[in-house]
Structure 1
Amino acid sequence: MTFQSVKRSSVKPALLLLAGFFIFGCASKRVVYHPSRQQQRPAQNQTGTTGSQGAVQSGQASPSGSAQGNVSGAVSGNTAGASGSTSLPVTQNPAPMLPPLNTTRPTETTNNLTELRKNLPNKKIAEDLIENKLSEDELAIAAATPSFDSVKPQVLLKLGKLNHKNRNSTKAAEYYRAVSSLYPNTPQGTQATALLGSIQASYSVDARVIGAVLPLTGRMSSIGQHALNAIRMGLELNKPEAKYRLALFDSQSNAEMAAKGVDKLIKEDKAIAILGGFTATEATAIGHQAELFNVPFIAFSQKTGLTNIGDYVFRNALTPEMQVDKLTQFAFEKLGARKFAIVFPNDSYGVEFSNIFWDHVLARGGEVTAAQTYDPKETDFSEVAQKLLGTYHIEARAEEYKQRLAQQKARKKKQKSTRDHWADDNILPPIVDFDVVFVPDSSRALGQILAFMKYYDVRQMNYIGTNIWNSPDLPKRVADENADLYFVEALDVSQGSTQHESPFIKDYSAQFSESPTIVEIQAYEAASILKSQLDSGVSSRENLASRLRYLGRSNGVTGELRMSNQRELQRPLHILSLDAGIIKKVE
């Protein structure tokens, strides 16, 4: 991009670009107004989790966070309670017959079938067409056409999966049975056999058993162990008269293992519902499996759009949407802000929050006048601050720079300075065309950003952030008294808060010698909600899911909970500020 003048012109930001592009191509440019400060809308980053092979684990978590008990067993109370089962409407030893196929060729699908026929010799392309291109009608035609016999196992398996996804378990079972019987020694036959077994097992439910897929080992193990403590309390498993049993599976912080855990909890433990899924990848994997078998699943992940997987996926988490909605409402209504800057790390967290924040600002009639990204490992924010403030690219303000440099030289000459060179860092004044800076990052990064903003002559500014600012390190990291800091949180950690009197918070603190975080609170609430529904006599997954969808309002640890139309539990949020080194609630 050429830098033509300092005249400001409104440039509508593009919604999405590749993250790599805006780092290396646009990272020094702003979104709107000044050409040298033009920054494109961040692209959506994607990250995953990895881990080793997992195993079923169970046992009571100790206060220190370790799991105790038999690896293949289950965390149990006593066995009193209700159970229910339904017989699968298929025969035990099915004949290798295909289900009825619709063989009416739709005219608009000819191209896909022609493409498949042409690529039959190319196994990879043919499989991609079957998985991602052919409609159900086209698949039915291929299944009934002899010329497609070489790919019939893949075609029939895909038809089974489509019917399974559409909740037609009977027809899905027929397809799976056909693949299993006709092609037993193929990968498709093996997969069909497993899926058929899952369907058969899914019809048997024990309403006394709640399943949980948690990361008890691996990089997320600390979160998993703390959540387990809270789930046990929510189900009242520590009481002698406990009615329910917790079937536990260790995901080992791995999405593939998490999906396997769902199969185990359905087939072997006959769990009526499943809790878990803290990371985006684990929650997605669990959600798809749970939805496939119509098992209610309450996730703890913040991943945007998670409940779009299906009607059996629920969530209890402090999502980016919830946090940003509260932050922008506060900024517009209490701070009177209309123009915003965003400084964010180029990771999945920073990019997602920045995109959502941008949407909410525009929806309220505001404007994002500056956006600057940085490497998550960055420690020197000098360049970031200069780019944000329009002082990095001198050529973009060439005439202004020359005038100010000449003025400075004249002053130096008049003062008879013996220096031949002058530092030009602060020759150009910063362009501060925003009321608030949004920083979706930790208090460590925030402290660095504030220090460099002050160095480049931005002394009075409002900064807003997410709940990860809520850390004991915040007062230590931020020493700028002229910076007004506000962040969103579900927990009111300010002095005198009545939330500290919550029975769960008091009991948890007494039992584990530490205060619960939002992680434990959400896990406890989800388990408590399941218990209350099962206590009322619900004995099937379908009825439980229906009761959860229409849950309405219920009591939570931090206040009233409400189940939204997107099957997400919503809670009251608070705006907290840092005042003289003390975190306080903003009334």
Structure 2
Amino acid sequence: MHLALAALGFLLAGCAPNLPPPQAPSQQQPAAPTATVTPAPSPNLTLPAPSAEAKVALLLPLSGQNAGIGRTLLQAAEMGVFDAAGDDFSLVVRDSAAPGGPAAAVSSALQAGARLVLGPVFSTEIAPAAQAAGSVVPVISFSNDRSAARSGVFVLGLAPQAQVERVVGYAAGQQIKRFAILYPNSPYGNAVRQAYQDSVVQAGGQVVTMQAYDPAATDFITTLQSLSASYKSSGFDALMVPEGGPTLRTVASMLPGFDIPMAGPGGGPTPAGAVRLLGTALWNDSGLAREQSLAGGWFASTPPDRWTAFAQRYQQIYGVAPDPRAGVVYDAVTLAVALAKSKQGGDFSLARLTDPSGFSGVTGLFRLNTDGTVSRGLSVLEIGPGGITIRDPAPATFQTVIN
């Protein structure tokens, strides 16, 4: 196994990134991977013949303003290679922020023999990367923007729609029927709003009110007055607030003052008249356990035990906490390794990628769908005085996972 690095200026200048094997310092370390320099892509791309070695492209921003993100995600990819790959697997690393952007990075990787593209990170880079990959080489991006998904172009990030579908489905199973949402008027907020409407209808519930606010707002009095009026006139059992950080803390702390009673922690159906707070993975912050106003709130996210184990090992190896997207990158790499073992040179066909059995990773169960979206097995978590706990565990399998 090895990581092949593109012929970037900073590499030629002798500043190649340090790629030690991901082992804790106290452990015996295997030999470091070989970094090789490859020529710039030709304007007329011709794919080399398949080889016995399975080669997979990895697109990350390794220069420019997002280089820090790229380097931390590269470390997650290293972990995946050293954990799962053999000598017949090669990860061909390319800088999506280099001149020519993601299209040139993909072309260069394909010239080096890559038959699958992992990345890019950002949704705006997916289209040029996919165009360069053509209709033969699949792309598994790390974005969570479902609108960029299509056949052969997968969106592996934790999409807000999947989180909403899971928590709404669970809430409906707890006899919650009347739903409301308070959301920022932003692309993210509107994606959540649409998913919320769809999920509530699918679960047999009713969306009673939807209140939007300026994402830059700091004064929520007028918005909460309108929400309170809706509660008093129509009533609702659950309120989705797809926010995090200071805005979430501010809004949640103000709700009781507008005569919207919170359900609080505990099991069983929501008490009559009380409102169950619902959220997204933006709530996955251990500091929120200190916010009494959020106690009893539910949200969906990846299984916390798997992420915690991965994050602890990442920090032990690299000395810093991982970026939340690191688990997605690790899972993409180990999925590619699993598919590489299917046959000599790997089997990265769409039929194999979309195996209905799915895959088990540090972000839990996931399955690539033929339309480019990803199904996930998520946990429903509850915020309480003692921290974030599992309210409803993630499913154990879709059918039978491939690894």
TM-score (norm 1): 0.54
Distance in structure 1 (CA, Å) of the matches to 2:312 and 2:128:
34
TM-superposed CA distance for 1:565, in Å, is 4.0
Which stretch shows the higher mean deviation, 568-577 or 319-328? 568-577
Q: What SS does the aligned partner of 1:202 have?
A: coil
Residue 302 of structure 1 corresponds to 144
Distance in structure 2 (CA, Å) of the matches to 1:511 and 1:537:
32
TM-superposed CA distance for 1:443, in Å, is 3.2
TM-superposed CA distance for 1:508, in Å, is 2.5
CA deviation profile, 1:118-171 (whole Å, cap 9, x unmatched) = xxxxxxxxxxxxxxxxxxxxxxxxxxxxxxxxxxxxxxxxxxxxxxxxxxxxxx
1:6-45 → structure 2 map (5 Å cutoff): none
The answer to whether residue 88 in structure 2 is matched with residue 246 in structure 1 is no
Residue 358 of structure 1 corresponds to 197
The answer to whether residue 99 in structure 2 is matched with residue 259 in structure 1 is no
Cα gap change, 1:472/1:76 in structure 2, threshold over 3 Å: closer, same or farther? same
The answer to whether residue 138 in structure 2 is matched with residue 282 in structure 1 is no
1:140-289 → structure 2 map (5 Å cutoff): 194=43, 197-198=44-45, 201-205=46-50, 207-236=53-82, 242-252=87-97, 257-267=101-111, 269-289=112-132
Query: Is residue 521–residue 557 contact of structure 1 (8 Å, CA) maintained in 2?
Result: yes
Residue 15 of structure 1 corresponds to none
The answer to whether residue 331 in structure 2 is matched with residue 486 in structure 1 is no
Residue 3 of structure 2 corresponds to none
Q: What SS does the aligned partner of 2:243 have?
A: coil
Distance in structure 2 (CA, Å) of the matches to 1:326 and 1:237:
31
Residue 241 of structure 2 corresponds to 439
Which of 350, 372, 380 aligns to 1:575? It is 380
Query: Is residue 81–residue 333 contact of structure 2 (8 Å, CA) maintained in 1?
Result: yes
Query: Is residue 139–residue 153 contact of structure 2 (8 Å, CA) maintained in 1?
Result: yes
Counterpart residue type for residue 110 of structure 2: I
Residue 457 of structure 1 corresponds to 259
Q: What SS does the aligned partner of 2:382 have?
A: strand
Cα gap change, 1:507/1:346 in structure 2, threshold over 3 Å: closer, same or farther? same
Q: Which has a greater percent of helix? A: 1
Which of 327, 337, 343 aligns to 2:182? It is 343
Counterpart residue type for residue 234 of structure 1: G
Query: Is residue 56–residue 250 contact of structure 1 (8 Å, CA) maintained in 2?
Result: no
Query: Is residue 289–residue 384 contact of structure 2 (8 Å, CA) maintained in 1?
Result: no
TM-superposed CA distance for 1:438, in Å, is 0.7
Counterpart residue type for residue 270 of structure 1: G
Counterpart residue type for residue 91 of structure 2: L
CA deviation profile, 1:279-311 (whole Å, cap 9, x unmatched) = 221223323332x25212111111114332x3x
CA deviation profile, 1:440-470 (whole Å, cap 9, x unmatched) = 1213211111233222222322111110111
Query: Is residue 307–residue 327 contact of structure 2 (8 Å, CA) maintained in 1?
Result: no
Cα gap change, 1:278/1:488 in structure 2, threshold over 3 Å: closer, same or farther? same
CA deviation profile, 1:370-419 (whole Å, cap 9, x unmatched) = 1111111111111110122238xxxxxxxxxxxxxxxxxxxxxxxxxxxx
TM-superposed CA distance for 1:329, in Å, is 0.7
Cα gap change, 1:276/1:363 in structure 2, threshold over 3 Å: closer, same or farther? same
TM-superposed CA distance for 1:511, in Å, is 0.8
Counterpart residue type for residue 552 of structure 1: S
**Equivalences, count:** 354
Query: Is residue 487–residue 575 contact of structure 1 (8 Å, CA) maintained in 2?
Result: yes
Cα gap change, 1:578/1:376 in structure 2, threshold over 3 Å: closer, same or farther? same
Cα gap change, 1:225/1:338 in structure 2, threshold over 3 Å: closer, same or farther? same
Counterpart residue type for residue 519 of structure 1: R
Query: Is residue 61–residue 225 contact of structure 1 (8 Å, CA) maintained in 2?
Result: no
Query: Is residue 141–residue 155 contact of structure 2 (8 Å, CA) maintained in 1?
Result: yes
TM-superposed CA distance for 1:242, in Å, is 4.1
TM-superposed CA distance for 1:318, in Å, is 1.5
Query: Is residue 76–residue 244 contact of structure 1 (8 Å, CA) maintained in 2?
Result: no
Query: Is residue 96–residue 120 contact of structure 2 (8 Å, CA) maintained in 1?
Result: no
Distance in structure 1 (CA, Å) of the matches to 2:212 and 2:70:
31
Cα gap change, 1:431/1:448 in structure 2, threshold over 3 Å: closer, same or farther? farther
Residue 335 of structure 2 corresponds to 529
Cα gap change, 1:566/1:271 in structure 2, threshold over 3 Å: closer, same or farther? same
Residue 156 of structure 2 corresponds to 316
TM-superposed CA distance for 1:354, in Å, is 0.9
Cα gap change, 1:57/1:358 in structure 2, threshold over 3 Å: closer, same or farther? farther
Q: What SS does the aligned partner of 1:271 have?
A: coil
Bigger radius of gyration, 1 or 2?
1
Distance in structure 2 (CA, Å) of the matches to 1:554 and 1:447:
36
Counterpart residue type for residue 489 of structure 1: S
Query: Is residue 227–residue 523 contact of structure 1 (8 Å, CA) maintained in 2?
Result: yes
Consecutive unaligned residues of structure 1, counting only runs of 5 or more, are 1-53, 64-74, 80-192, 392-428
Consecutive unaligned residues of structure 2, counting only runs of 5 or more, are 1-6, 21-31, 37-41, 263-274, 393-403
Residue 475 of structure 1 corresponds to 289
Residue 354 of structure 2 corresponds to 549
Which stretch shows the higher mean deviation, 293-302 or 548-557? 548-557
1:421-440 → structure 2 map (5 Å cutoff): 430-431=232-233, 433-440=235-242
* CA RMSD after TM alignment: 3.4
Q: What SS does the aligned partner of 1:550 have?
A: coil
Cα gap change, 1:307/1:433 in structure 2, threshold over 3 Å: closer, same or farther? same
Which of 169, 193, 197 aligns to 1:329? It is 169
TM-superposed CA distance for 1:532, in Å, is 2.3
Cα gap change, 1:345/1:558 in structure 2, threshold over 3 Å: closer, same or farther? closer
Cα gap change, 1:276/1:499 in structure 2, threshold over 3 Å: closer, same or farther? closer
Query: Is residue 56–residue 249 contact of structure 1 (8 Å, CA) maintained in 2?
Result: no
Query: Is residue 186–residue 215 contact of structure 2 (8 Å, CA) maintained in 1?
Result: yes
Which stretch shows the higher mean deviation, 516-525 or 557-566? 557-566
TM-score (norm 2): 0.76
Query: Is residue 389–residue 430 contact of structure 1 (8 Å, CA) maintained in 2?
Result: yes
Q: Which has a greater percent of strand? A: 2
Counterpart residue type for residue 293 of structure 2: D
TM-superposed CA distance for 1:343, in Å, is 1.0
